[in-house]
Amino acid sequence: MNTVSSYLRVFGFLTLAYIILELTIDSGTQWAIEKYPALWIVLSLVLLVLVAVEICLAALQKILFQTLKADAKERYLEAKRLRKENKYAWLKETYAKLTKSKPIEKESEIILDHNYDGIKELDNSLPPWWVYSFYATILFAFIYMVRFHVVNDYTQDEEYLAEVAAAQKAIEEYKRTAKDLVDFNTVELLTEASDLKAGEGIFGANCVACHMKDGGGGIGPNLTDKYWILGGGIKNVFKTISEGGRDGKGMIAWKQNLKPAQIAQVASYVLSLQGSTPANPKKAEGDLWTDPNAPQEEAPKTSIDSTAIQTPAVDSTSVVSTLKK
């Protein structure tokens, strides 16, 4: 492997092998090489085979060269030299067309008559790439003028506001899906079994000393009833765990020890204890919590049967005598 083409071939085939692995292996949303680290071994073996093939081909080429006769070797070397000289001929021609420059040996054709203290000037043409770029700027300026100063498509202020709104929307979406960026304003109740299991583990490691394993309460309040000192619901419970309880007597703030995602998990687990029956429940503390966002139950409407309403009978003779008086 003593040529650039050898390295390029190895790199190309290795990249092709990687693409085939990614397309044929089902790894969900992850990269296959990330989900299955054993694929690094596969790619390493592919690389080893490719390098071995290139070395074998180079060795075979040298062996075949040694079997040639003297005149054949000269012809082969001459052809190889010509290929090397013409290898980048197209690139040189393209560069010459783009710059339109004269070689040094032909500068006498474009030298001007005047000179300044022996300093002479060449009448070089402007490079075509520069000329065409200049024409492109003129065309762009014309389109820009028509669009923004004649048609009045939109202003810079409108474009700025639209981009800010789009960026804000993207930030909110990212915060909604990024678990460790959640706070008490954006947290949602977690119901997945994996999240509740993780919350149970965090609760067992940090909270049982004050609230007991079943949430019945000890030093801390009972977590299984409907009464809350600082408000119930996922947002209030998340905030209480994160920021701590009442000054001087409440729970410490756990935001220094737990990540936001972990606080959301343990808060959701705490709320899953609602309605359970602990072994030794502590007396309720705080106020009865009702979720303000919960749908209100409508009072049942009672229908009245008009046929069931009885009216007192009226004596018509008494009514007539009353009217005569």
State the pLDDT confidence band at 289, using cuts at 50, 70 and 90: confident
Say what the pLDDT of residue 307 is: 60
Round to whole Å and give the CA distance between 226 and 281: 13
Say what the pLDDT of residue 221 is: 92
Average of pLDDT values for 35-46?
Answer: 91
Say what the pLDDT of residue 322 is: 46
Cite the beta strand spans of 86-164 per DSSP E.
111-116, 119-122
Say what the pLDDT of residue 75 is: 87
Outline where 193-232 has alpha helix (H).
193-206, 208-211
Say what the pLDDT of residue 319 is: 39
Say what the pLDDT of residue 13 is: 92
Average of pLDDT values for 100-110?
Answer: 81
Say what the pLDDT of residue 324 is: 45
Average of pLDDT values for 150-161?
Answer: 89
Most confident range (mean pLDDT) of 97-106, 162-171, 243-252, 283-292 is: 162-171
Helix (H, G, I), strand (E, B) or coil at 243: helix
Say what the pLDDT of residue 302 is: 56
Average of pLDDT values for 273-300?
Answer: 81
Say what the pLDDT of residue 99 is: 81
* pLDDT single digits (tens) 47-78: 999 999 989 988 888 888 888 888 888 888 88
Average of pLDDT values for 147-172?
Answer: 90
Round to whole Å and give the CA distance between 109 and 124: 10
Average of pLDDT values for 33-37?
Answer: 87
Round to whole Å and give the CA distance between 15 and 119: 55
Average of pLDDT values for 119-127?
Answer: 85
State the pLDDT confidence band at 92, using cuts at 50, 70 and 90: confident
Closest CA to 205 of 254, 141, 133, 274: 254
Say what the pLDDT of residue 309 is: 53
> Of the ranges 54-58, 131-135, 171-175, which one carries the lowest mean pLDDT score?
171-175
Average of pLDDT values for 297-309?
Answer: 57
Domains defined along the chain, listed by start: 4-87 (no CATH), 193-288 (1.10.760.10)
Q: Which residue has the higher pLDDT, 68 or 296?
A: 68
* pLDDT single digits (tens) 209-220: 999 999 998 889
Q: Which residue has the higher pLDDT, 153 or 299?
A: 153
Round to whole Å and give the CA distance between 216 and 193: 22
